[in-house]
Structure 1
Amino acid sequence: MAKAKKTDKPVTRHEVSGIERLGLRVSEMINHPIAQERRMVTIHRLDNDGDREWEEVMGLLSETDGIDMTFNDDESVTLKWEASADEDRPVEAFEPVEELAPF
């Protein structure tokens, strides 16, 4: 049996910054099916969320059109949004036309 070659290349890992980690967490919370159905989500600040990262992400959210932000007493933030135009469109159902049998 042939042995697998050992590669001398060092494995490079991309360390996720605090702002990237917080951005991903907020994005996942917003895109969660329950949040999408309710059109709202409450984001809680974790102990490892730095002041700079928290302010940066909250600033970006506040600049986003269509999002209402409510800053709660427990340092959480509740986001609410309206349905987009694509979601408001009625679904067109296909109704097959019944044809009489040729016999």
Structure 2
Amino acid sequence: MANQADKKEASQTEMTGLKRLGLRVSNMINHPVAQIQRWVTIHRLDSDGDREWEEVIGLLAETDGIDMERNEDGSVTLRWEPIADEDRPFVVKDEQLLGAAPF
């Protein structure tokens, strides 16, 4: 019984190649240095499958506001413009403000 529970837990926590690649690309884009310079170069790793790589790169190519350049070495450089203050999403950090409206 313990063996089945261990297998079930391992399968639930295992990350797919697509999720792993998506997380890596997201972390690279959101890195403070990339946000300051407004560009990042993404290199394909040996562990990135063909299907996963093409799917993530395809999604990035379709994303508005991102210019993509395919480099000779197989990497991809993404460039973007800063978001205007009026276009930024509003984020509430004070949890008291998230409660019911007083009216």
Shorter-chain TM-score bucket reads 0.7 to 0.9
Aligned to 1:23: 22
**Runs (4+) off by over 3 Å:** none
Which ranges of structure 1 fall in alignment gaps of 5 or more residues? Answer: 1-7, 90-103
1:45-100: CA deviation from partner (whole Å, max 9, x where unpaired):
011111000000001001100000000000000000000012899xxxxxxxxxxx
Superposed CA RMSD in Å reads 2.0
Corresponding residue number in structure 2 for 1:77: 76
Normalized per residue, which structure has more helix?
2
Structure 2's unaligned 5+ residue stretches are 89-103
2:5 pairs with 5, 10, 15, which one?
Answer: 10
Residue-pair matches, total? 82
Structure 2 length-normalised TM? 0.73
Residue number in structure 2 paired with 1:86: 85
- What is the match of residue 48 of structure 2? 49
Letter in 2 for 1:60: L
